[in-house]
Amino acid sequence: MKKTGKVYPANQGVRKKRQRRKKYAIVEESSTDQEFPKWIANPIKDGRLIIDSFVDLSCFGGLVYLQEGKTCRVSLAQYKGGKYYALKGISKHFLCKSRSYEQVKRQLEIHIGINHKFIVNCFRVFDHHSFIYSIQEYCVGGTLQMLLDNKRAVIPSISPEAAKFYVAEVAVALDHLHSRHNIVFRNLSAENVGLSWSGHVKLLGFQFATKVKYRNPLVETSATSTVGAIECAAPELLPFKLIEPFLAEEADGRTFHSFAVDWWALGVLLHQLVMGFRPFGNPKFDSQSDIAKAILRNHRQYRLYAAVYRHRLRPTGVLQLIDNLLANDQDQRWCLDDIKECDFFKGCKWNTIFKVEAPYKPKYALVEKDTTCFRRPIKVRKKEMTIGVYPEELRVRPTSEHLEYSYATDICNDIMARALKGHTVRARKSVEALAQCKVASVPDGKSPMLLLLEKGLEKKHQRRKRQKEQFLRNYEQANTIKTRDKLEGRGRRWLDY
């Protein structure tokens, strides 16, 4: 029998399939490009690292204050008139006072070497005369804590479905740190979970992260200081000095912790999202010893509405998950494999979780320079992170710690040289430029930071001299005793200068 029908060339069907795939790929790429805000730096399109040979604070413009803590300050800044980044500055005065240069070096090395969709990207590290800066990805949606605080409700909680979304993404990010990098995060809380422009999770805050050995992933717990937020700390992470009154007399002061402390903190976060309060207390109202006692004995706080919430949430399986994450025994505490099999996450597609639409999205993410999700401070300092600041404006006093400030330049250069080694030819050229800057950074035994400080302090001395001359001139021209007394009260420091 003869074959009837249309005859195609040998490769025509394959060619059509390839053209169809290419067409759909172009459509998908263009749709994602339209959704992503054009004013925010994208690590996929703009590169994971900024590989320019010279980066300084003068390269940034339009600085907008976001928030600050005890040791650092975060601002939104535009890099060379292009994309916007989050600029995090760590105070050198604090580093010198607390002797924590090595801790900051470890933190920046860990952060700049991680690349994951649920972890905020670090683009660059550089230093100024008073701060060490890291250029990071900007989280337009703020943090989970800000999301809970902005909910105008008596009980600041979210639905179990929304909690499932956020906890699943945080669990994937923690598992990536544990399995791929052997990193214990040790700083998980609602304040350190950022929200991107699409509403997805971005883990941030690597101050207390540490890298462990593959065969022996144990870290000795500090005996005096608390690591991270105490209300989220596991029992094995509490310092011996704090828990000594609640232990037996024969108890040994040495304790060790590992990856399990992050899963405990995840249980605390899930409890806060679902129930609306932290299980072991709030440091604003409770003392550290009371919180440590509650953590050791696993006594969770009680609220009047908690019984109603527990009755509603029991069928979902979230209470079982919280109980197993907050187990005192490290070996019996659940990890990602156990979380995937629990009733609460039944039917969750873990491989495509980044494609799921987020329960909350920032309203004005497409608007350039949007900071509506961040709380405004009552009083913003005018001379804060301005471009071209001098030491006299920041009130830097000439002390011996300025000699240690120049050590931060070597730290930043070493970190960037290691991060840029495995990149393109352009990146290798910037490594060579960094090495040349390092060699030429000590002219006549003084670093550029010290030269800048000396110049600023000299200007400060000249300015004070002019102010004193003006005061003495006004004092001599005063006619009455009353005006002279007023001038003496206001300018007594100029008489002793």
- HEC profile for 251-309? CCCCCEECCHHHHHHHHHHHHHHHHCCCCCCCCCCCCHHHHHHHHHHCCCCCCCCHHHH
Looking at the fold, whether 459 and 423 belong to one and the same domain comes out as no
Looking at the fold, whether 306 and 189 belong to one and the same domain comes out as yes
> Cβ(439)–Cβ(123) under 8 Å?
no
Give the per-residue pLDDT at 434: 58
Give the per-residue pLDDT at 377: 47
Tell me the pLDDT band of 84, cut-offs 50, 70 and 90. very high
Looking at the fold, whether 173 and 199 belong to one and the same domain comes out as yes
Give the per-residue pLDDT at 436: 54
Looking at the fold, whether 91 and 215 belong to one and the same domain comes out as no
Tell me the pLDDT band of 121, cut-offs 50, 70 and 90. very high
Looking at the fold, whether 434 and 480 belong to one and the same domain comes out as no
In a domain, 16, yes or no: no
Rounded to whole angstroms, how far apart are CA atoms 278 and 248?
28
Looking at the fold, whether 114 and 253 belong to one and the same domain comes out as no
Looking at the fold, whether 203 and 325 belong to one and the same domain comes out as yes
Domain span at residue 195 reads 145-355
Q: What is the CATH number of the domain that holds 270?
A: 1.10.510.10
Give the per-residue pLDDT at 354: 87
Element (H, E) at 135: strand 131-136
Looking at the fold, whether 153 and 132 belong to one and the same domain comes out as no
In a domain, 10, yes or no: no
In a domain, 18, yes or no: no
Best CA proximity match to 77, nearest among 33, 149, 128, 118: 128
Overall size of the chain counted in residues = 497
- Classify the C-alpha dihedral 32-33-36-42 as positive or negative: positive
In a domain, 106, yes or no: yes
In a domain, 368, yes or no: no
Looking at the fold, whether 207 and 325 belong to one and the same domain comes out as yes
Best CA proximity match to 419, nearest among 40, 41, 47, 46: 47
Tally of structural domains, the chain: 3
Best CA proximity match to 197, nearest among 371, 9, 333, 22: 371
Under DSSP, the state recorded for 145 is H
Tell me the pLDDT band of 325, cut-offs 50, 70 and 90. very high
Share of residues in the chain with pLDDT > 70 (%) = 74
Instruction: Tell which wins on pLDDT, 241 or 194.
Output: 194
Rounded to whole angstroms, how far apart are CA atoms 211 and 350?
26
Looking at the fold, whether 230 and 210 belong to one and the same domain comes out as yes
Looking at the fold, whether 61 and 198 belong to one and the same domain comes out as no
Tell me the pLDDT band of 96, cut-offs 50, 70 and 90. confident
DSSP letters along 418-479, please? HHHTTS-HHHHHHHHHHHHHHHTT-GGG--HHHHHHHHHHHHHHHHHHHHHHHHHHHHHH--
Rounded to whole angstroms, how far apart are CA atoms 194 and 333?
26
In a domain, 85, yes or no: yes
pLDDT digits (tens, 9 = 90+) for 98-116: 778 888 888 999 999 898 9
Tokens of 31: 């749709």
Tell me the pLDDT band of 8, cut-offs 50, 70 and 90. very low
Looking at the fold, whether 463 and 431 belong to one and the same domain comes out as no
Tell me the pLDDT band of 24, cut-offs 50, 70 and 90. very low
In a domain, 48, yes or no: no
Q: What predicted TM-score, i.e. pTM, was given to this entire model?
A: 0.75
Last residue of a domain, one of 355, 390, 420: 355
In a domain, 52, yes or no: no
